[in-house]
Structure 1
């Protein structure tokens, strides 16, 4: 049963749209209808608040009157390349005024970029991970690591496969075969030319993270949905973004609740060990973590006992949706608890 709480906590649900989407936004017809319904079941008064680029003044007036702001906005718009810098500045301003913001932009900076893969590389979910902050560093170290086997390069910020490449040696020693995750396009190019292309990433203030390609990737990926520090459900999906074209497109992700028996060992590792270790490494408190976020895991080599190991692929905190059917009530309960704690 929902935990009764103080009446009339006001919660804004924010997503990106245009002026038309803003004018027509309704809780019951939005893609977040299940989230609005769950917030209502927990006694929270939720309202839509659509972010329209260039209209920060309008959104600011709305958000300053809220107790909490829950945000679903991707870091980069795939079609236009628009980032969320202006929105993040506004959210920091709103949070400084005492409004609960999830995910807070500062938390996104620590948890929601690919750099977290490097910062947590020594944890149980880690692998041979490296971070490059310049073209010179990339050119000095990447060719040597590539000689040991296929690698995956990831921009520190991105979504939908944008800025993720599988790179492997081609028949010629000077060439590499590159596949981009966003469109699965494959091309053979001189290694020096590919490295030179990455200058634009560093010029944009990004870094590049380098991991070994996981050979079991075609066995699927497990997405763990988390609310704060507790599992809220799971998603399973075959991964073909970096697979040869003959494997076709991946089928839809299948969702299940936090009690799914297949993932209780992973759930235990995540809740008992990895989340506390991650928050400690990143200088966060448990309640800094978003009310909904997810961690994507690929299967690593089996351990000595024949058990699967898990390799962290990425953490998503900016716009985690869709989510399992069980997750809206879990995130609503987390939101209510944090608001109630703040009021005490």
Structure 2
């Protein structure tokens, strides 16, 4: 409760320190150890040197040149600094216009006796608001607009027994990026709630979730199988598919996540701008052995398993001369299919999760891929992952994709960050330390707007592919993911005069091939940077917060746009 000072209703005691208020709100917070509160329209900055105060424009409309005073009010344990506004010869206290800051003694407030002048506060200089200061920040869920035409929900899940409910969350149990996504949907005009899926209360979730027009599922792959009853993932997926059959939009649907995110998607897009025609998928031992011996006799290859997300089971493969310990420059086949390698052909292999290198015969490599490092005849392996990439067959996502190794991969990958059908950002990921892997956090990042010339051609070709992208993946009728990425690898044109290894191809002529799609709960890095511990959304720095909100705001716009398209009569 505000305590009036001795001078509130009389003439201003002399001398008092005058503080002219800046004409712009100052976005600043006092140190955490200082308890504080402020009235509407005021912002305080507390420091050991004093208190700075600014009035927001709504107050300035009432008084174009307000003058404020800091009045020290000591007692035995604390000093109360009350902010007063002068009207004529009086100081007026108002619940709406007064800010009260309680400072522990010795923290910069005056401990002068009544009637004495307090410590002189720093004068606030007039300044124009910065880009950040002009924006509103929300660290909690906003109220949805009354009468919103579309109702959406962000669906989350807490792993039983895991700290925070999972390493992707904050101490409040929310993914740090979930609230900004929901708030951006609200900003775009939709109503949005946060829903928590409990595997032990499936029917309760069905009753609650059925009323929404669309669900944004923010559950990391595999989490529904951690500490849950058997079949939880299947029950959840079946419910999402049922909703889709009734006309609800689900981002991303189980089918989209499975088929678009699978490595064999690269085979299906071979005829698009973003694909390569000499890309194959292997589901059986015979397909793998026969196919790989043929492709690797033609050009260096990349062999990719369909499980994992940090580069494990992704192998770069070169022919190697064991005797001279040098790379073989001229491959046996001048054109694909002319010849095949034999079992004793020697390979240099690099696994992209950590860039470690191994040397094996073709036979040893095939045994590792099929039976793992303990398979008879597999040799000695350094990889910390178990191979067995075909285990379980196609139904269990057991497969390997064989794609041409593009020499310019050492220049890095380009990640195109998409919200629906619109690119929000291009990110160049350059491997650190001269490696070939741009995954697992081992990269330097450079960010580009979609309008930047460097990747304009790439983005325009992606836009041209979008109408046929989902049909190529056998996903006709599905909506594009609300948030997804395409990772591209640069290459020289196939008819480049100096060949595929030349480094004289400029940006205008450089082509790009998709190495991977990702649409399974793509994280928003500047929010998720604080997840997993005690920090919350409030701990994300302002600059990062507003940068990341540019993406979530686009997601909100695209969500409403797709709902309108799916429900033209609503």
Normalised to the residue count of structure 2, the TM-score between the two structures is 0.52
* Structure 1 pair 56–156 and aligned structure 2 pair: CA distance change class (3 A): farther
- Please give the residue correspondences for 1:68-87 in structure 2 after superposition, counting only pairs within 5 Å: 68-76=214-222, 85=234, 87=236
Q: 1:189 — aligned with what?
A: 360
- Once residues 434 and 369 of structure 2 are traced to their aligned partners in structure 1, the CA distance between those partners, rounded to angstroms, is 19
**2:391 corresponds to 1:203:** yes
Partners of 1:223 and 1:145 in 2: CA distance: 27
Deviation at residue 156 of structure 1 after TM alignment: 3.1
1:85 Cα deviation from its structure 2 partner: 4.9
The equivalent residue for 1:21 is 164
In structure 2, relative to structure 1, the CA distance for the partners of 1:290 and 1:148 (3 Å cut) is: same
Q: Which residue of 2 aligns with 1:337?
A: 561
Tell me how far apart the structure 2 counterparts of residues 59 and 163 of structure 1 sit (CA, whole Å): 37
SS in structure 2 opposite 1:182?
Answer: coil
In the alignment, which residue of structure 2 is the partner of 1:114?
263
Q: Secondary structure at the match of 1:202?
A: coil
Find the aligned partners of 1:126 and 1:167 in 2 and give their Cα distance. Answer: 20
C-alpha distance in structure 2 between counterparts of 1:197 and 1:55, whole Å: 42
- Find the aligned partners of 2:172 and 2:473 in 1 and give their Cα distance: 36
In structure 1, the partner of 2:311 is 161
* Partner Cα distance (1:73, 1:171) in 2: 47
Return the alpha-carbon distance in structure 1 between the equivalents of residues 512 and 296 of structure 2.
22
After TM superposition, the structure 1 = structure 2 runs for residues 1-344 of structure 1, keeping only pairs within 5 Å, are 7=148, 9-19=150-160, 21=164, 25=172, 30-50=176-196, 56-57=202-203, 59-76=205-222, 85=234, 87-127=236-276, 128-172=278-322, 173-199=344-370, 200-205=388-393, 206-239=398-431, 243=435, 250-271=442-463, 273-285=464-476, 288-302=479-493, 307-322=509-524, 325=548, 326-343=550-567, 344=569
Render the CA deviation track for 1:48-88: whole Å, top value 9, x for unaligned: 335566665554444333221112344457xx8x9955543
Cα deviation, residue 239, structure 1? 3.6
Equivalent residue, structure 1, for 2:20: none
Measured after TM superposition, the shift of residue 291 of structure 1 is 1.4
Q: For residues 26 and 331 of structure 1, what CA distance do their matches in structure 2 show?
A: 22
SS in structure 1 of the partner of residue 312 of structure 2:
coil
RMSD between superposed Cα atoms in Å: 3.5
In 2, Cα distance between the equivalents of 1:334 and 1:286? 17
Matches of 1:5 and 1:321, distance apart in 2: 30
Going from structure 1 to structure 2, the CA distance change for 1:16 and 1:109 (only over 3 Å counts) comes to same
**Structure 2 runs not aligned, ≥5 long:** 1-144, 323-343, 371-387, 497-504, 526-546
Please give the alpha-carbon distance, in whole angstroms, between the structure 1 residues aligned to 2:559 and 2:436.
Answer: 42
Task: Between the two structures, name the one with larger relative contact order (CA 8 Å, sep ≥ 6).
Answer: 1
Larger Rg: 2
Aligned to 2:18: none
Within 1, Cα distance between the matches of 2:211 and 2:433?
42
Change (3 A) 1:257 1:40: farther
In the comparison of the two structures, how many residue pairs are matched?
Answer: 335
* Cα 1:46–1:184 shift into 2, 3 Å: farther
Q: Please say which of residues 82-91 and 313-322 is displaced more in the overlay.
A: 82-91
Gaps of 5+ in 1: none
CA distance in 1, matches of 2:477, 2:451: 22
Q: 1:295·1:316 contact (CA, 8 Å) conserved in 2?
A: yes
Aligned CA distance change for structure 1 residues 119 and 287 (closer, same or farther; 3 Å): closer
Per the alignment, in what secondary structure is the counterpart of residue 195 of structure 2?
Answer: strand
2-side partners of 1:291 and 1:210: how far apart? Answer: 29
Within 2, Cα distance between the matches of 1:241 and 1:57?
A: 52
1:229–1:286 Cα contact (<8 Å) kept:
no
* Equivalent pair of 1:220/1:239 in contact (CA under 8 Å): yes
Deviations 1:253-282 (A, max 9, x none): 3434433332221121111x2112323433
Q: What's the TM-score, normalizing by structure 1?
A: 0.82
Say whether the 8 Å CA contact 2:408–2:490 is kept in structure 1: yes
Question: Deviations along 1:149-170, whole A, 9 cap, x unmatched?
Answer: 4311112344222332222334
Question: Contact 1:217 / 1:239 at 8 angstroms: preserved in 2?
Answer: no
